[in-house]
Structure 1
Amino acid sequence: MGAVVSPSDLTRPAKPETVFDRDAEWDALAAFTCDARPGAGLGVVSGRLRQGKTYLLKALTTALGGLCFGAQQATRADSLRRLGIELARYTGAAPPPHGPDWEDAVDELLALGDRGRPVPVIIDEFPDLVRQSPELPSVIHSAFRRLRETGRDNRTRLLLSGSSLPVMHRLFGAASPLHGLADLELTLRPLGFRQAARFWGIDDPRLALLVHAVVGGTPAYRRYVADDTPSGPDDFDAWVCRTVLNSRTPLFLEVHHLLQEETDHWDRALCHSALAAIATGCQTQGEIAECLGTPLTDASHCLALLHANGLLSSEPDAFRPHLVRLRIAEPLLAFEHAAVWPHRSALEQQNAVEVWRRARPVFDSAVAGPHFAQICRDWALDFADQAVFGAHPATAAHGSLPDPEQRAGPDAAADVVVRGRAHARSGPLLSVGVARWDEVMDLHHLERLRRLLTLLAANGEDVTHTRPACYSGVGFTPALHAAQADGQVVLVDLDRLYRGD
């Protein structure tokens, strides 16, 4: 009798060199698929389009000798026929003359794990199958139940992947037959700003942030511009013109395709207008509805759709949690709707260089500036050493507060409000900071932060240990550096954002 194989006896495959980053995701998938414990397992992989889910899953099946079936928008019969062909190719059997029904097809897929070893079986873009065969989740649930009831020694590791986030949430939500069945739930997100800089091969932090403000961390976009990367900071404007503003590249119409695929058949014109309103300064549902001249219910429906698809994020104000601000989560959408949207028709008739010359000031103020502030918040959460703020940050958000001395003016605001962990609704206030993309910061910025801390203390906030912070894309005056040396302020520049803690 052979030795009993335990999970620790199995060798997990090393991540292929062709897969950039994604170490944690690969480790999670490998741990799930190589788990040698008896019993079929179900895993869920979700994430927005263009993030590399299919590439990662195909690499996994290649490394482990599994089966990967890519679903398409096809009829039920055509999908079953294609699956039958893929199964026959994988097993070496003759393809069936007619496609089986889903009950038989799922049983055949799960039977691949009857051979005493874990076998990954992947159905990519699972929602496309469910649209034509809504009974499929119930069929899978029943098949797993039968395996448990019969006690078969089955080690299939079924992974269901999908890009439609609302559909994936519904398929595995509380009302679904698949709820509670998954052993792994993995979401593939865009690359972080530091990862994206390495992916694009950019060492200069200012250039890295500018490129990230255009294309974000979506890996596919480098392929969309045929691996064209700016050669240096002086090449950024020319790079924009020859890539995202070039009608001969796939990136030129990516925003239109992205909204078409993510929003399905909903009112895309309203979605574009809502995104343009947000990109140019509107932050709440009421402000957006007023800007669009549309009923609040219509605007709310549109915004909820964009939020559900991961294109918008909603963030409560750090000082007034009842005030929820909306932010475009996909940088390419913000770039398009703030800087390019007003010039779309001109791009069809004029030189891209001339169009970009007019759009560049808007990009600097309405795109690069807010994007820099968001990168600063990301840095505070993900990279700042605990000693920077005196404790490990739990949240980093924008915060604003009415200033009694400025009744007709803007609220007192901070771009990077860092709070620590707490059991209550609001954690301890660790830091308040301002972010300036194209401004050398001086002592008057520190004085504004001190004024804000005074207002917060008057409102009952404990600011005893709160540290002022200045974030700049171009640097600080000697006086502000001296204040940092005295422990009065935390200074964060681009080099620290990309290389420091």
Structure 2
Amino acid sequence: MGMPPIEDMVGRETEWQQLADFATSGEQSASLGLVRGRRRIGKSFMLQGLAERMNGFYYHAVRGSSGESLHDFGEQLGAYSGSIAPLSLGSWDDAVGALMELGRRGERLVVLDEFPYMLEHTPGLDSLVQRAYAPRAGTRRDTQTRLILCGSAMSVMGQLLTGTAPLRGRAALDLRLQPFDFRTARRLHGIDDFATAILTYAVIGGVAAYAREMVGHDLPTDPDDFDRWVSVRILSPSAPLFGEVDLLFGEDPTLSKARKPNLYYSTLAGVALGHHAWSSLTNYVRIPGGSLASVVSALVSADFVAELQDPVRDNRPIYQPADPLIRFHYAIIRRHQARLRRHGANTGELWAELTQTFRSQVLGPCFESMARSWALHFASRETLGGAPVHVGPTTLAVRNSDTGARELRQLDVVVAGDAETPSDRTVTAIGEAKVGQRLSLRHLVRLEEAREALGQVADSAKLLLFGQHFDRAVLRVAEERDDLEIIDLPRLYEGE
């Protein structure tokens, strides 16, 4: 039987058990683990809870000099150990040794939270940990310290175990926490109404703190209340989420200390504003693709941008914001910051002006990503006509059945099997996702045209229509056809 989770924890049962298994593995020697994830995602909440449950040592690092931090560390470790005075540590090597000593009499959990801050003032600290965890190190064999290094700077944490990094090959756990998917987010938000759940997810996504402390535990109760909530909890300059994206960006050292940080801001803005394809993004930023590659790679590594692969075309990556709040920030807050910050600004009136922008540039793309998530994680094989090995969007040339002309169209959802090359993959399903429109036979025709354009690999592809409202005519057709699936909001959230 696993260790019961801490109170108020939602949606992290699997991650909690992985942490508990690591801390109570029974290994006779010391073990090392990494926990990483974007800020506000719930890492510290879980690790503090686990440390309290197991009487472990939890240390939350802050920015400061090496000497100051070493003194603070010794003070906290001394208090934990029951010493009447702070431990006098001559170096960080001594500090690592003291942590290893904690496990001399049995398993002892030790958490160093915000480890990247410690690396800022002591760049060789990971090498000191590596030495303590070397296969033949006596300190490792004679102690059962369960050391977890935790951090929010994803670009830094991601490098700890790669290439020639000192800790490569030393960790028994590498746990990467992701934001909650839209279904788990609805549980976290405690919202029963599906339409309200989608609107809320399109703004704050699945980050735990965004639904609790950072909105004063205030969430919309219905679609009418949503406007009030956005105006007060998001668009007000005094709201914590108003400047959250800029704060997150500034806290990642790889991005904030880059030679040209404005280039990273501009690239992230381009992705958030809908420039998802490589050619469109380079045109927006106005620099050659070769120069942009390292910038995009850094944003992906830092979890600001997500890279999707086109299921049916090779080397056609598609870039999207890794978090809905990033898209909302650039489409709504950043563009209108001056008006929102003006003394006495009526955020309710401003929001009324921006609602259409929200629906087209924020809600629409978010709903498309929810549709892809549903296909990948929740839909049955019967619904999709096969296993969802590859799921993503694509762009293709389609012949318009009315005019006969060929036009480029984006296909929101493509589900494909596996093959040696993307173009050879069998397409088992394609879909269109429209939350702000009433889906009709016209949308069905568009899907049929897209299926024809994909050719023989898509001959038997199922057609998926995702939406909130549907014409009766298309619902009647769906009852008569085996190749058409209607995914309304109840099915999106609760069905397969």
Paired residue for 2:16? 26
Deviation at 1:203, TM superposition (A): 0.8
| Structure 2 equivalent of residue 382 of structure 1 | 377
1:114–1:246 CA distance, 2 compared to 1 (3 A): same
Cα offset, 1:439, TM superposition: 1.5
Q: Which amino acid aligns with 2:370?
A: I
Letter of the 1:181 partner, please give it.
R
1:183-222 CA deviation, whole Å, 9 max, x = no partner?
0110111111111111111111111111111111111112
**1:417 corresponds to:** 414
1:499 aligns with 2:489: no
Equivalents in 2 of 1:375, 1:410: separation in Å?
26
Q: Distance in 1 between matches of 2:85 and 2:20?
A: 30
- Please state whether the residue corresponding to 1:473 is helix, strand or coil: strand
Q: Deviations over 1:392-440 (max 9, x none)?
A: 3122210121236689864133211112355665643110111111122
Give yes or no for the alignment of 1:346 onto 2:339: yes
Shift of 1:103: 1.7
Q: 1:256 Cα shift?
A: 1.8
Native 8 Å contact 1:275 1:334 kept in 2: no
Contact 1:433/1:471 (8 A) holds in 2: yes
Mapping for residues 445-460 of structure 1, pairs under 5 Å:
445-457=443-455
In the TM superposition, what is the alpha-carbon distance from 1:113 to its structure 2 partner? Answer: 0.9
8 Å CA contact 2:132–2:139 kept in 1: the answer is: no
CA RMSD of aligned residues (A): 2.2
Q: Distance in 2 between matches of 1:150 and 1:219?
A: 38
| 2:321 maps to 1:328 | yes
5+ long unaligned stretches in structure 2: none
TM-score, normalising length from structure 1?
Answer: 0.92
* Partners of 2:189 and 2:238 in 1: CA distance: 21
- Report matched runs for 1:31-430 at 5 Å: 31-95=21-85, 98-115=88-105, 117-145=106-134, 148-149=137-138, 152-222=141-211, 223-262=213-252, 263-266=255-258, 267-349=260-342, 350-403=345-398, 410-421=407-418, 425=422, 427-430=425-428
Whether the 8 Å contact between 1:392 and 1:421 is mirrored in structure 2 is no
SS of corresponding position for 2:5? coil
Percent identity over paired residues: 32
**Using a 3 Å threshold, how does the CA distance of structure 1 residues 329 and 410 change in structure 2: closer, same or farther?**
farther
The residue that corresponds to 2:442 in the other structure is: 444
Which amino acid is 1:383 matched to?
Answer: F
Q: Find out whether 1:434 has 2:435 as its counterpart.
A: no
Q: Distance in 1 between matches of 2:265 and 2:476?
A: 43
| Deviation, structure 1 residue 73 | 1.2
What stretches of structure 1 of length at least 5 have no aligned partner?
1-10
Q: Deviations over 1:272-313 (max 9, x none)?
A: 333333333322333223223345455444333322211111
Partners of 2:285 and 2:140 lie apart in 1 by 60
Letter in 1 for 2:300: H
For residues 265 and 137 of structure 1, the distance between their equivalents in structure 2, rounded to whole angstroms, comes to 21
Structure 2 contact 108–144 (Cα < 8 Å) conserved: yes
Alignment check: 8 A CA contact 2:431 2:447 kept:
yes
Relative to structure 1, is the Cα distance of residues 96 and 441 closer, same or farther in structure 2, using a 3 angstrom cutoff?
closer
For each residue in 1:153-177, what CA deviation from the matched residue of structure 2 results, as whole angstroms up to 9, or x when unmatched?
4211110111111111212112111
Paired residues, number: 487
Distance 1:423 1:22, change over 3 A: farther
- Residues 312 and 425, structure 2, Cα contact 8 Å, conserved in 1: no
Partner of 1:3: none
Once the 2 structures are TM-superposed, how far is the Cα of residue 12 of structure 1 from its aligned partner? 4.7
3-state SS of the aligned residue for 1:170? Answer: coil
Quick check: 2:33–2:148 contact (8 Å CA) kept in 1? yes
Q: TM-score, normalised by structure 2?
A: 0.92
Deviation of the 1:18 alpha carbon: 2.4
In structure 2, what is the Cα distance between the partners aligned to 1:97 and 1:382?
Answer: 50
* Amino acid aligned to 1:371: C
Cα distance per residue 1:312-370 (max 9 Å; x no partner) = 11222233222222111111110111123221111122311121122110111111111
Give me the whole-angstrom Cα distance separating, in 2, the residues matched to 1:150 and 1:343: 57
After superposition, what is the alpha-carbon deviation per residue over 1:78-137, rounded to whole angstroms, capped at 9, x for unaligned?
Answer: 12111111221111124456432122211110111110x211111111111112212212
Q: Is the 8 A contact 1:272 1:337 kept in 2?
A: no
Between the aligned partners of 2:268 and 2:421, the Cα distance in structure 1 is 34
How far apart, CA to CA, are the structure 2 residues paired with 1:477 and 1:185?
50
Moved more, 302-311 or 329-338: 302-311
